[in-house]
Structure 1
Amino acid sequence: MVNQDSSPRDAVVATYRLRDRKDKLEARAEGIAVGLTIGTWTDLPAARKSEVAKHCGRVEGIRVLDERPDGDVVAEIDIAYPVANLNGTFASLLVTVFGKLSMDGEIRLERLQMPDELVRQFPGPKFGVEGVRRRLGAYNRPLVMSIFKACAGLTLDELVEAFGEQAEGGVDLVKDDEIFFTEAYATPEDRVRAYAAKADEIAQRTGRRTAYAVNLTGPVHSLRERARRLAELGAGALLVNVVAYGYDVVADLARDPDVDVPILAHPAVSGALYGSPNYGIAADIVLGQLMRLAGADIGIFPSMYGSVTLGREATDRLLQHLRAEGPHKPVLPAPSAGIYPGLVPRLYQDFGVDLVLNAGGGIHGHPGGARMGGRAFFDAIWAVEHGVPLEEAAKDRPALRQALEKWGMPS
């Protein structure tokens, strides 16, 4: 027996796709609903049942999607988990809806419907789209972000020189590579100080100041203090490997008023969660829904265009999570991998103006270097904003012309 008193207004509804025998679906669903909430129902005395009823899960629906030749079916089941079982942490949410269940054969968490009562217990973005734009002074166009490549093994002077070349191209943000952990040559604090000075020097000449998204690294117990220190020193944003460190770690940073800089969420390790079509957790939950709840202001995810991609359907669901109306501010999407200047018109079409053009090879691989690589993106933005075909705009814009000669445009 399952609880008949809870409703989606006070429960998280999780939708799973699984494979099983058709005649076992009801028992399987009921076993999940009870097993992940109160453990057992039939063995409880009547008095005890009334006490625990509000904590018991409920089967909301069962749908057969496909029947296989071997007699198995692929089905979706909906289970409602009472909010009363949770404590406002991602640990409680994830362990409840997919803890031991994630090890129970072929089953995948596809959707999470969360009531506003629970959503409001998570911090959400501190800045969101408009707040990030205000901090960077960039309006009515996509932001341009350069990925700092070849970091490890460089001295601080060499790093500053590389940062300066990227900033000369006018990019809004330069972000660390997510794999940059070593402090053998320069600590994150050293880099923030040095890059800020270089950014000021360049801004005096160009009128545009490039911000630096520093990789927040170190033991978990020291991250909040380091984040505060980096913010105070002038970091433009904090790059966080969210899945590796944990959503609750990010939520603590987002709640802290002294961590007064945007959070840039990197998807490293997330493929281990969403990569299989039959196991794990759907990508839009991992990289969209949970990232926004945790407090990401900018969310990086695999683009639809590179070698490591999300499909169109998964991307659309992810964007819905980042942008939907709700208690929290919207998140700037940063589709990544395979981004180059010739793709800018397609990016406008697929994502609109509120996005981050996040490029590594598309900037550093430019024939004229990273400075020209950044300028090529702004040339492409100008062309789209003025309704000019890129090939036409490239005639008197050398940076864009060289980019199109190297990478072309999507077919």
Structure 2
Amino acid sequence: MPIHDPTRIYATYFIETAYPLAEAATTMAGEQSTGTFLRVPGETDELRERFAARVESIAEKEPAQTASLPGSGTPKNWDGKRHTAEVTLSWPLHNIGPSLPNLLATVAGNLSELKPFSGLKLLDITLPPAFLTQYQGPQFGVAGTRKLTGVFNRPIIGTIIKPSIGQTPEATAQQVKTLAEAGIDFIKDDELQSDGPHCPFNTRVTAVIEVLNNHAARTGKRVMYAANITGDLDQMLSRLAHIEANHGTCAMVSMNSIGLPVMKIIRQHSHVAIHGHRNGWGMIGRSPAAGMSFVAFQKLWRLAGIDHTHVNGLRNKFCEPDGSVIASARACLTPMFPAPNKGCEVMPVFSSGQSARQAPDTYKALGTTDLIYACGGGIMGHPQGVAAGVMSLHQAWEAAAQNIPLSVYAETHRELKAALDLFGA
């Protein structure tokens, strides 16, 4: 969605309504700027001219057969048709200034509750570069994450601590040691592992980073460990400081648990990469008729300061189709602002049921190796062990980059062959 006026905020929506489309779009614009359900005395023409939202475009789509969401109304003398469309609205930046919390109230506030709509979903936003005066964006992003891990010209191969929860700090550190010796590039806590009494954060992180520091001193390879700092703000700042004091390189945050203002503060204090986990995303994005798309969602968090974020994976264990996964990853790698402004690109993280078998299709669809390829069972479950699991992923991506079918490459690479025998070609 191109910027037409760099002093305005643009948002595009899918809408479903029984009302005439122009009337419905005008209702949206009024509700989210100067208007209410009737004209009030203070709403002068001058005020509306300066502050009202504008309907920029309406592109009608195929009609809906039934209402997608409950509770919607119909106009008098309704003809029985439910219209759908993509509608773009815009607001002057001076309504709210460059503020992400107030941006959310503007583009995703009460709209979804309005009775004229049986479907309304935020699809995309385009923001003025002025937002960069208040938000730092990613500190490391794609290039910085590659520098921190020392991995170039291929995907960063990663995994998740499993079992997700229940291990002691010592057992966690031992698993990390095994993974590091197997050649892994990136390890993250599961989002369920935080600071419970069975595995306290400080004890776990001290033990894990000591293992990784020793590994780096011995081999020259520094594995990135994303420790889950999610909690109340004071806890998060304390945990972040603990990571940095132990010479760690990454902190993980459950984005939907903490909110944009807290992420902004974490970014301001952080000297390590921020791994943004999107757990809870299904509540926001799963419905085609409500919530918001990941394309819009990730822009907010990129500005707030994350360096990586999850996009699911091809043929994943969740409900998201492959086309949506690739669109999400492309969005993460697409600049948010025109040159010469900062692009805010972040590293997409492919995860959820990934193994050697999805590598060629992922590479073909995305067209780049700028990603973290995180496999749990795809590494831990390899029949020849963890090291063979890591090696099978390297081999799969080598085959993908050389456009060699996996089955052919597996003929001379036993780790890949074992992975394909287990997970399917």
TM-score by length of 1: 0.89
Residues of 2 paired with 1:185 and 1:128: CA distance? 33
Aligned to 1:66: 62
Matched, 1:374 2:390: yes
1:212 Cα offset (Å): 1.0
Aligned to 2:13: 16
Aligned to 1:295: 305
Q: Report if aligned partners of 1:189, 1:233 keep a CA contact under 8 Å in 2.
A: no
Residues of 2 paired with 1:211 and 1:147: CA distance? 12
1:103 Cα offset (Å): 1.9
Residues of 1 paired with 2:128 and 2:327: CA distance? 18
Aligned to 2:77: none
Q: Report if aligned partners of 1:292, 1:321 keep a CA contact under 8 Å in 2.
A: no
Matched, 1:148 2:152: no
Cα 1:328–1:228, aligned 2, differ >3 Å: closer, same or farther? farther
Aligned to 1:285: 296
1:272 Cα offset (Å): 0.4
Cα distance per residue 1:199-226 (max 9 Å; x no partner): 2333455443322110112213432332
Aligned to 1:198: 211
Q: Where in structure 2 are the equivalents of 1:103-252 lying within 5 Å?
A: 103-104=113-114, 105=117, 106-118=119-131, 120-203=133-216, 206-252=219-265
Question: Aligned residue pairs: how many?
Answer: 398
Aligned to 2:354: 339
Letter of the aligned partner of 2:353 in structure 1?
G
1:345 Cα offset (Å): 2.1
Q: Report if aligned partners of 1:175, 1:212 keep a CA contact under 8 Å in 2.
A: yes
Cα 1:42–1:19, aligned 2, differ >3 Å: closer, same or farther? same
Letter of the aligned partner of 1:284 in structure 2?
V
Q: Report if aligned partners of 2:311, 2:349 keep a CA contact under 8 Å in 1.
A: yes
Cα 1:377–1:207, aligned 2, differ >3 Å: closer, same or farther? farther
1:389 Cα offset (Å): 4.5
Compare 313-322 and 383-392 and name the one that shifted more: 383-392
Letter of the aligned partner of 2:372 in structure 1?
V
Residues of 2 paired with 1:203 and 1:43: CA distance? 67
Cα 1:33–1:202, aligned 2, differ >3 Å: closer, same or farther? same
Residues of 1 paired with 2:6 and 2:223: CA distance? 45
1:255 Cα offset (Å): 2.7
1:387 Cα offset (Å): 5.6
Give secondary structure in 2 for the equivalent of 1:76.
strand
1:322 Cα offset (Å): 1.4
Cα 1:151–1:308, aligned 2, differ >3 Å: closer, same or farther? closer
Cα 1:195–1:408, aligned 2, differ >3 Å: closer, same or farther? same
Cα distance per residue 1:243-297 (max 9 Å; x no partner): 12112222222233xx1111111110111011101111112222x3223222221
Q: Report if aligned partners of 1:127, 1:329 keep a CA contact under 8 Å in 2.
A: no
Q: Report if aligned partners of 1:216, 1:223 keep a CA contact under 8 Å in 2.
A: yes
Aligned to 1:354: 370
Residues of 2 paired with 1:204 and 1:123: CA distance? 32
Residues of 1 paired with 2:136 and 2:220: CA distance? 34
Q: Report if aligned partners of 1:302, 1:309 keep a CA contact under 8 Å in 2.
A: no
In percent, how many aligned pairs have the same letter? 26
Aligned to 1:3: none
Cα 1:390–1:11, aligned 2, differ >3 Å: closer, same or farther? same
1:312 Cα offset (Å): 4.4
Cα 1:131–1:323, aligned 2, differ >3 Å: closer, same or farther? same
Matched, 1:310 2:323: no
Give secondary structure in 2 for the equivalent of 1:67.
coil
Alignment match of 1:54 (pick from 50, 53, 65): 50
Residues of 2 paired with 1:279 and 1:101: CA distance? 10
Residues of 2 paired with 1:68 and 1:341: CA distance? 40
Cα distance per residue 1:89-136 (max 9 Å; x no partner): 321111111111122242111221222223553321111111111111
Cα distance per residue 1:131-156 (max 9 Å; x no partner): 11111111111101111111422222
1:393 Cα offset (Å): 4.0
Q: Report if aligned partners of 1:15, 1:79 keep a CA contact under 8 Å in 2.
A: yes
Q: Report if aligned partners of 1:38, 1:52 keep a CA contact under 8 Å in 2.
A: yes
Residues of 2 paired with 1:383 and 1:64: CA distance? 44
Residues of 1 paired with 2:134 and 2:169: CA distance? 41
Q: Report if aligned partners of 1:151, 1:159 keep a CA contact under 8 Å in 2.
A: no
Residues of 2 paired with 1:206 and 1:229: CA distance? 24
RMSD of the TM alignment (CA)?
A: 2.4
TM-score by length of 2: 0.86
Letter of the aligned partner of 2:350 in structure 1?
P
Gaps of 5+ in 1: 1-6
